[in-house]
Structure 1
Amino acid sequence: METTHAPLRTHTPALQVINPEPSRKGGSKAFIEANTTAVSFEELREGHIIPVFAKDNEPLVSQADFVLAAKEAVSDLFRGETILEPQLRVSHPIKGRVPEARDKPAAQLQEWERTLYYERMMFCLEIPSIMDEIDGNTLTLTVGGVKAYNLDNLYNRKGAVEHFKVFVGFKNLVCTNLCVRTDGLLADLRVTDLNQLREGIYDLLGNYDQHRHLRQMQELSRYSLTEKQFATLLGRCRMYNHLPAGERKNLPALLYGDSQLNSVCSDYYRDQSFCRQGDGTINLWRLYNLFTGANKSTYIDQFLDRSVNALDFASQVQQALDGGRASWFLN
């Protein structure tokens, strides 16, 4: 498949695939936290069983095959770039046992008698040789996806629709926050086999405009909120979810709840990279990163929707500050 991929600022290409850095500047470097656990690709491929359709016992597309399909597409479309090994996070374990051990007490089960798969999985493939900088923060191109088996009808037969989420965007290396834009997300990619999944990944990567995405985020650094405006904005955000449905439907969507908004408020004062300035002002790039940072506490299946929503919300605030349409969140 041909693509108009045009690399941004790049380093000298290294090996095609290298191991990811273990840590940057200390602390948690997970792109999502919530209730997730890190696993290696080898563990995912070799140690986890694959769910099947109940009516014919045929397997669904495995999470490992999903990661491999994305990795192959990235290697194909970004030839010569540095591509890190995939980082994977999983949640909601589904435990079982082999039939021979059905009557054993759990404490007596041997390892080979246990079965395990995780209902939800998210992965990222970082391409550090395609990078740029915004407000002193280095961003690298990142491709990834989400597979949540709870979205599939497992009581069907092979050939039924399976659901995937695929994204491409940027990772902020200061905090590993993921920055995703609308054209970089397939929020509900529906396929019936692995070939259709591959096609969907190629289509997303071919249509994504990385330069436009960067320009949109760069613009955020040019606009700032005063402390009073930030307080009004955050207060309105808290009110949003309690508005009557008729009033809320006429406002820009906000997918963040009280727990995430608490994090935004706390980090306005305490975050080492994105807190307020000495006079209480905060630019919209920092505000956006407070939201994407708070998003790390979101469950896997909601993470990407909130990630896109953070950029849409920050851009709407920017338009209001630029003299465009008035924003209810700032009134």
Structure 2
Amino acid sequence: METSLIRLSATPAPMHILQEVDPQESASFASSTSRAFIEANTTATSFSEIRRDHIIPVFVKDNEPLISQADFIQVTAQAVRDVFRGEEILTPQIRVSHPIKGRIPDAKDKPASQLQDWERTLYYERMMFAIEIPSMFDTIGGNRLTLIVGGVKAYNLDNLYNRKGAVEHFKLFVGFENMVCTNLCVRTDGCMGDVRVSSLEQLQKAIIQLLQSYDLHRHLRQMQALTEYSLTEQQFAQLIGRCRMYQYLPAATKQHIPALLYGDQQLASVCKDYYRDQSFCREPNGDINLWRLYNLFTGANKSTYIDQFLDRSVNALDFVQQVQGALNGRMTNWYLS
């Protein structure tokens, strides 16, 4: 494997520097040409649009603002610059969903069709972004993987009926993006699924902590090992059949079986792409290696809503590794038994 070495800096940048850095306009950020890493019901947007045009929700009891999506992106971009000094870093790719629309008081009596742009207000309840670091890469199964860092902000998880200083919720991740298909590959130590902070400084520390604790080389070794194991067509059929059955098992039975967070829609996509995907379909004899299977799952995950995306992304690797354990005889697996 060919891997660019990671360089870490233990000291976070002062907050006043973070507030001055614009991840969209900084000369050290090149433009990203990646296709969407998540689809579902999301819309692409830019950092400058979020900062300029989107209002910021407030705590109802004191009208103080929550940490804005723009500040979240900005503090993450600075952390990436500090931790990966000297690396090429692209502009954040941002996807939003669930628009919350409003209007200014002076336009309260106007029909919606007559509203001017300046009379409308807008923010998106859910936002996910990813910052690609293309100078840090590896190749697995003929696919180029580049390091990627990002996060999720979903205001629906916060208690807006509170005061400033109340806990706010964020999701953070670091992993790899498969450049063949823009699937995101995330493992457990590269994901913080519920970061609870009450200030931008606390959020900054959590981001730095994640980036410095993530074991990039272990993650790559785990994914590389998937190329060494394959399922026959019959085993694949049994696996998918059991995956569909899992959703309807009694709760007591499910407790003894590794969790699967993928529903019928995603499993149908995995089945379809087993035959049709140009990069990860089966071999002519019906066999499929676990690296390709893993990418069928991460590809199906792109149709997941923002708030569930990271959980399913981590689950995909855990699930396929459990299949690997069954194939090499280290463990039994209900899905293949």
State TM-score, norm by structure 2.
0.92
1:83 corresponding residue in structure 2: 89
Residue in structure 2 matching 1:18, options 14, 27, 30: 30
CA deviation profile, 1:252-273 (whole Å, cap 9, x unmatched):
0100000000000000000000
Pairing of 1:14-163 with structure 2 (within 5 A): 16-21=28-33, 29-163=35-169
Q: CA deviation at 1:20?
A: 1.1
User: What is the percentage of aligned positions where both structures have the same residue?
Assistant: 71
What is the rounded CA distance, in whole Å, between the counterparts of 2:82 and 2:111 in structure 1? 49
Gaps of 5+ in 1: 1-6, 24-28
1:236 corresponding residue in structure 2: 242
Number of matched pairs: 315
Matching of residue 166 in structure 1 with residue 172 in structure 2 = yes
Q: CA deviation at 1:170?
A: 0.1
What is the letter of the counterpart of residue 290 of structure 2? Answer: L
CA contact 1:94–1:116 (8 Å) conserved in 2 = yes
- SS for the counterpart of 1:50 is coil
Matching of residue 223 in structure 1 with residue 240 in structure 2 = no
CA contact 1:16–1:80 (8 Å) conserved in 2 = no
Gaps of 5+ in 2: 6-26
1:4 corresponding residue in structure 2: none
What is the rounded CA distance, in whole Å, between the counterparts of 1:118 and 1:133 in structure 2? 36
User: What is the RMSD computed on CA atoms of the aligned residues?
Assistant: 1.0
2:214 corresponding residue in structure 1: 208
What is the letter of the counterpart of residue 61 of structure 1? Answer: I
Name segments (4+ residues, structure 1) moved above 4 Å.
Answer: none
State TM-score, norm by structure 1.
0.94
1:9 corresponding residue in structure 2: 4
What is the rounded CA distance, in whole Å, between the counterparts of 2:176 and 2:43 in structure 1? 22
- SS for the counterpart of 1:66 is helix
What is the rounded CA distance, in whole Å, between the counterparts of 1:280 and 1:61 in structure 2? 50
Q: CA deviation at 1:127?
A: 0.1
Q: CA deviation at 1:9?
A: 2.4
CA contact 1:137–1:172 (8 Å) conserved in 2 = yes
Q: CA deviation at 1:16?
A: 3.1
What is the rounded CA distance, in whole Å, between the counterparts of 2:281 and 2:233 in structure 1? 11
What is the rounded CA distance, in whole Å, between the counterparts of 2:31 and 2:250 in structure 1? 50
What is the letter of the counterpart of residue 8 of structure 1? Answer: T
Q: CA deviation at 1:324?
A: 1.2
What is the rounded CA distance, in whole Å, between the counterparts of 1:163 and 1:328 in structure 2? 35
CA deviation profile, 1:143-188 (whole Å, cap 9, x unmatched):
0000000000001110100000000000000000000000000000
2:182 corresponding residue in structure 1: 176
What is the letter of the counterpart of residue 95 of structure 1? Answer: K
- SS for the counterpart of 2:280 is coil
